[in-house]
Structure 1
Amino acid sequence: MGMWASVDAMWDFPAEKRIFGAVLLFSWTVYLWETFLAQRQRRIYKTTTHVPPELEQIMDSDTFEKSRLYQLDKSTFSFWSGLYSVVESTFILLFGGIPYLWKLSGRFCGSAGFGPEYEIIQSLVFLLLATLYSALTGLPWSIYNTFVIEEKHGFNHQTLEFFMKDTIKKFIVTQCILLPVSSLLLYIIKIGGDYFFIYAWLFTLVVSLVLVTIYADYIAPLFDKFTPLPEGKLKQEIEVMAKSIDFPLTKVYVVEGSKRSSHSNAYFYGFFKNKRIVLFDTLLEEYSVLNKDKQEESGVEPRNDGEGDSEEIRAKVKVSSFSLRDPDSVFTRINSFLCFFLFAVLIGQRVLFAAFGFYDTQPTLIGLLIIFQFIFSPYNEVLSFCLTVLSRRFEFQADAFAKKLGMAKDLYSALIKLNKDNLGFPVSDWLFSTWHYSHPPLLERLQALKATKRD
C-alpha cells in the first residue's frame, strides 16, 4: 500500500510540477540509456585487442591498435562531456535559468528604451545571450577535443590562434543568420492569426532552401577555401558517372579541409536540377590546395588532378560522392509541418509556461523553446532513431547501386581505405550500432559486397 500511496501522492502535485518532473526524468533516462550503450561499446574497445580473423587480410595490427586507442579516448571524452551536459541542463532548469535569462534580457532592453511591448527585441537579446553562454561553456570542451584528443592521434592541423579566430567568426556568422531569421519567424507567428503555423512552416521551408543554395557559395568560403576541381581524369570520371545516372551535377569543388584536420570527407548540396559535389583535399591525398600553392611558390609545375592517382583514391571520391543519398525531403517537410501544427495547439497552454517558471507572461520564443526542445523530446528521440534506421537502409541501397554499376571492387577498397584514414574501429556492439550508426559498420558493408567482389 505504501508504494501505491507514493504513486498517488505524485499525481497530487500541480500539473506544472508533473510536467517539469517528467521533463527532468526523461532527460536523465536518455542520458542513462546513452551511457549504457556507450559502456557496451567501450567494452568492445577494451577487449578486442587483436584484428578479428575476418579482417586480417585487409587491416594490419598497427592500424587496428591506433584506431582502438583513438576510439577509447573519444569514448572517455564523450562520457564526461555528456555528464556535464545533463548536469548543466538540470541545474539550469532547477534554478530557473531560463526565466532568469529572459528577465535579464528584459533589463537590457529596458535600459535601451525598449519596454515589454517589444517582445521580439527582447527575444533576440535572449537568443544572443543564450548562444553566447552556450559558446563559452562549450569552448573548453572543444579546445580539449581538438588540441588533446585530435592532436594526440595526429588529426589536428590547427593552431590555437586559428582555432579562436575561427570560433569567433562562426559565432558572428551564426548570429547574422539566426537573429534575422528568428525575428521574422516570431513576427509571422504574431500576425499569422489562426493559421500562423502554415505561414511559419512555409517560411522555414523557404529559409532552408535559400541556405542550401547559398551555403557553399557564400557562407562556407568565409571559413575555408573552395577551389574548382581542376580538369583531368578524376573530374572527367565524376562527370561521366553523374551523367550516366542522371545526377544533375553542375560543379565539383575541392575544399581546403587539411588546414583543420587530416580527416577526409565529401558531400553534395543543392536541390532540384542544381547539385554540386564538394571533396575534401584530404580525401584526394596527393591533391591539396596547400600543396598546390607551395608547388607554385617553388616553381614546380602542379600535375593535373587524376594523373597518377591510384584506384583507391579515385574510388574513395566515387564512394564518398555517390553513395550519399538526398535526405528524404518529403518526410522532412511533413514532419516540420506536423511540429508547427502541434505547436499551434500547445502554445495556448499556460501550464506549459508555468512549468518552466513563466507564470505571468508567455513569450512566443519561450514557447518555441519549451515545446520543441522539452515537450517534443520523447518524439524527437524516437524520430532520431527512425531516421538512423532509414539512413542505414539508404546506405545499403547505395552500396547495392554501386554493385549494379560494376564498382563493387572499387567500393570495397575505398571503404577500407576511408576507415583506415579516419581510424574507424571496425568492430561494434550490435545495440550501440543499431542506435547510433546512421552508416552501417564496416564489416556489415564489406560482407554485403564480398560476394560481388569475388565475381
Structure 2
Amino acid sequence: MNNFTWIFLLALGASLILKLWLAQRQIRHVAENRGQVPDAFADKIQLDAHQKAADYTLTNTRQGRIELIYNSLLLVGWTLGGGLQWLDNSWQQLGWGSITTGVAMLISAFLIMAILELPFTIYHTFVIEERFGFNRTTPATFVGDLAKQALLMLIIGVPMAWAALWLMQESGGLWWLYLWLLWSGFSLLMLWAYPAVIAPLFNKFSPLEDDTLQKRIQSLLNRCGFKSQGIFVMDGSRRSGHGNAYFTGMGQNKRIVFFDTLLKTLEADEIEAVLAHELGHFKRKHVQKRIITMMLLSLAGLALLGWLIEQSWFYQGLGVQQASNHLALLLFLLVSPVFTVFLQPIMSWFSRKHEFEADDYAAAQSDAADLIRALVKMYRENASTLTPDPVYSAFYDSHPPAPVRVAHLSTRTAS
C-alpha cells in the first residue's frame, strides 16, 4: 500500500456514499409522492398505473443500492484484494509470450466479471421484470443470449485485445495515440455494422408492413431530408414488454427501428411525433456531437494511461506487484470510473439539453400535442416514474423528468 492506495479508497468511498445518498433521496421522494398522480397527469394516468411506476422505480433503486455495494467490494477484491495479481500469476505460469498472456488475462478477467454480475441480471429479469409484468424472456432465450454475447466477446475481443497490446508493446512512446486511432476506427465501424451484423443475432427485424403508416413516415423523412436503409419493426416483445424507437447505424447504413410493443401502444400521429423527435437528434447533429465527445474523452484517458503506465506507484497502489501493459490497461478500465464520477451529471445535463432540442424539432415538424400523448403512453406502459427526485434526476437521467418535459412541450402546442 502507498499514498495512491489511500487516494483510491477515499475516492471509492466518496463515490459510493454519494451514490447511496442519491439512491436514498430517490426512494424517499418517489415513496412520498406515490399516493397522488401529479396534477399535470391527473386526467391522463390512473392512480394504479402511477403507483405501479412508483413501486417499479423503488424496487429497481433498492436493488441498485445492493449492486453498488457489491460492485465496490468486487473492485477492492480485484485490486487490493489481489484478484488481478492472482489471475495474472495463473496465466504467467503457462510460459506464453507477453501479448498472448495479456490477451488471455484480459478476456478471462472480463468473462469472470460478467459471471460475477450474472446473479443480479437473472434476478432483475426473472424476478423484478416478471413481478411487474414486463418479462417475456424465457430461460432458453436468456441462455442463448449469454452464449451469443460470450462468442461475440471472443470473436471481436480477442483480435482487439491483441492489436491493443501489440501497439502498446511495439509502437513506442506514442502508443496511446495509435491505440486511440485504432479504437476510434473500430467504434465507427461498429456503429456502421451493428444494424446489419450484430443486432440480427439477437432480434428479428421486419420491414414495416402498414402501408399507410409507412407513407406517412416517408413523408416526414422527406420533409426532414433524412435517408435511411428502411423502416423496421423489432420483435422486442420476445424479451420484454417495454417499448421504444431508435435510429441505428451511420452513413448510408442508417435504419429506423420501432419496437413492436410501441406500435401496439401508439396511434399513427403519435408514432410520427416520436419519429420526429428522433429525427431532431439527427438534424441537430447530436449523434455526431456525442461521438466527438466520447472520442476526446477516450483520447484524454489514453494519454493519461500513457503516463500512468510508467509509474510504479500506480500498480503497487492497486495491489499489483509486477507491471505489464495488460495489467495497466485493465487497472485503468476498472479504476477510472471511480475518479470520473463527476462527469456523470455533466453528461446527463448535455443529454437532457439534446432531448429538449429534439422535442422542439418534433413540435415544429409534427404536433407537440401528439408527442405529449405519445410520451404519456410510454411513461405509463414502461412504468416510468412521474416523480423522480430532482437531485437524483439531475445526476443520472439522460431525459428530462416527465413533468418538466411535458410542461416544456405544452409551451410549443400553440406555435
TM-score, normalisation: structure 2: 0.93
User: Are the equivalent residues in 1 in contact too, given 2:91–2:104 (CA < 8 A)?
Assistant: yes
Q: Give the counterpart letter for 1:235 in structure 2.
A: Q
User: Are the equivalent residues in 2 in contact too, given 1:313–1:414 (CA < 8 A)?
Assistant: yes
Show CA shifts across 1:94-137 (max 9, x none): 32111111111223x33xxx2xxx11111121123212211221
Which residue of the partner structure matches residue 434 of structure 1? 394
One of 214, 218, 221 as aligned partner of 2:197: 218
Give the 3-state SS of the residue equivalent to 1:357 in structure 2.
coil
- Within-5 A mapping of 1:357-376: 357-359=319-321, 361-375=322-336
2:248 is aligned with 1:265: no
Percent identity of paired positions between Structure 1 and Structure 2: 29
- Within-5 A mapping of 1:302-321: 309-319=267-277
Show CA shifts across 1:406-426 (max 9, x none): 421111111111111101011
Q: Identify which of structures 1 and 2 has the higher relative contact order when contacts are C-alpha pairs closer than 8 Å and 6+ apart.
A: 2
Which residue of the partner structure matches residue 26 of structure 1? 11
Which residue of the partner structure matches residue 38 of structure 1? 23
Counterparts of 1:140 and 1:372, CA distance in 2: 22
Which residue of the partner structure matches residue 300 of structure 2? 338
User: Are the equivalent residues in 1 in contact too, given 2:276–2:361 (CA < 8 A)?
Assistant: no
> Greater Rg, structure 1 or structure 2?
1
Which residue of the partner structure matches residue 150 of structure 2? 171
Counterparts of 2:75 and 2:332, CA distance in 1: 16
Which residue of the partner structure matches residue 212 of structure 2? 233
Which residue of the partner structure matches residue 72 of structure 2? 86
Give the RMSD, CA atoms, in angstroms: 2.1
Q: Give the counterpart letter for 1:75 in structure 2.
A: T
Counterparts of 1:67 and 1:355, CA distance in 2: 44
> Alpha-carbon deviation of 1:401?
1.3
- Within-5 A mapping of 1:45-64: 45-48=30-33, 49-64=35-50
Give the 3-state SS of the residue equivalent to 2:413 in structure 1.
helix
- Within-5 A mapping of 1:120-159: 120-159=99-138
2:230 is aligned with 1:251: yes
2:359 is aligned with 1:399: yes
Q: Give the counterpart letter for 2:53 in structure 1.
A: S
Give the 3-state SS of the residue equivalent to 2:241 in structure 1.
coil
Q: Give the counterpart letter for 1:99 in structure 2.
A: Q
Counterparts of 1:72 and 1:347, CA distance in 2: 42
Which residue of the partner structure matches residue 76 of structure 1? 62
Please, which runs of 5 or more residues in structure 1 have no aligned partner? 1-15, 287-305
User: Are the equivalent residues in 2 in contact too, given 1:265–1:320 (CA < 8 A)?
Assistant: no
Which residue of the partner structure matches residue 180 of structure 2? 201
Show CA shifts across 1:125-158 (max 9, x none): 1123212211221111111111110001000011
> Alpha-carbon deviation of 1:376?
6.5
Against the structure 1 CA distance between its residues 376 and 344, is the aligned structure 2 distance closer, same or farther, given a 3 Å change threshold? farther
One of 69, 78, 89 as aligned partner of 1:103: 89
Deviation larger for 324-333 or 338-347: 324-333
Counterparts of 1:169 and 1:274, CA distance in 2: 23
> Alpha-carbon deviation of 1:274?
4.0
Show CA shifts across 1:227-281 (max 9, x none): 2223612222222222222223232221111110010122212234542222211
> Alpha-carbon deviation of 1:330?
2.3
Counterparts of 2:239 and 2:352, CA distance in 1: 28
> Alpha-carbon deviation of 1:205?
1.1
Give the 3-state SS of the residue equivalent to 2:206 in structure 1.
strand
Give the 3-state SS of the residue equivalent to 1:381 in structure 2.
coil
Counterparts of 1:383 and 1:95, CA distance in 2: 27
> Alpha-carbon deviation of 1:369?
2.2
Against the structure 1 CA distance between its residues 340 and 128, is the aligned structure 2 distance closer, same or farther, given a 3 Å change threshold? closer
> Alpha-carbon deviation of 1:436?
0.6
Deviation larger for 263-272 or 64-73: 263-272
Show CA shifts across 1:299-326 (max 9, x none): xxxxxxx9xx553344444445655741
Show CA shifts across 1:203-231 (max 9, x none): 11111111111111111111111122236
Which residue of the partner structure matches residue 12 of structure 1? none
User: Are the equivalent residues in 2 in contact too, given 1:229–1:235 (CA < 8 A)?
Assistant: yes
> Alpha-carbon deviation of 1:43?
0.6
Q: Give the counterpart letter for 1:392 in structure 2.
A: R
One of 309, 318, 325 as aligned partner of 1:347: 309
One of 365, 381, 406 as aligned partner of 2:341: 381
Give the 3-state SS of the residue equivalent to 2:136 in structure 1.
coil
Counterparts of 2:281 and 2:260, CA distance in 1: 19
User: Are the equivalent residues in 1 in contact too, given 2:165–2:326 (CA < 8 A)?
Assistant: yes
Counterparts of 1:408 and 1:373, CA distance in 2: 43
User: Are the equivalent residues in 1 in contact too, given 2:273–2:366 (CA < 8 A)?
Assistant: no
Counterparts of 1:376 and 1:57, CA distance in 2: 42
Against the structure 1 CA distance between its residues 285 and 97, is the aligned structure 2 distance closer, same or farther, given a 3 Å change threshold? same
Counterparts of 1:327 and 1:83, CA distance in 2: 35
Deviation larger for 207-216 or 350-359: 350-359
User: Are the equivalent residues in 1 in contact too, given 2:25–2:392 (CA < 8 A)?
Assistant: yes
User: Are the equivalent residues in 2 in contact too, given 1:409–1:453 (CA < 8 A)?
Assistant: yes
User: Are the equivalent residues in 1 in contact too, given 2:126–2:135 (CA < 8 A)?
Assistant: yes
Against the structure 1 CA distance between its residues 406 and 214, is the aligned structure 2 distance closer, same or farther, given a 3 Å change threshold? closer
Give the 3-state SS of the residue equivalent to 2:247 in structure 1.
strand
Q: Give the counterpart letter for 2:17 in structure 1.
A: L
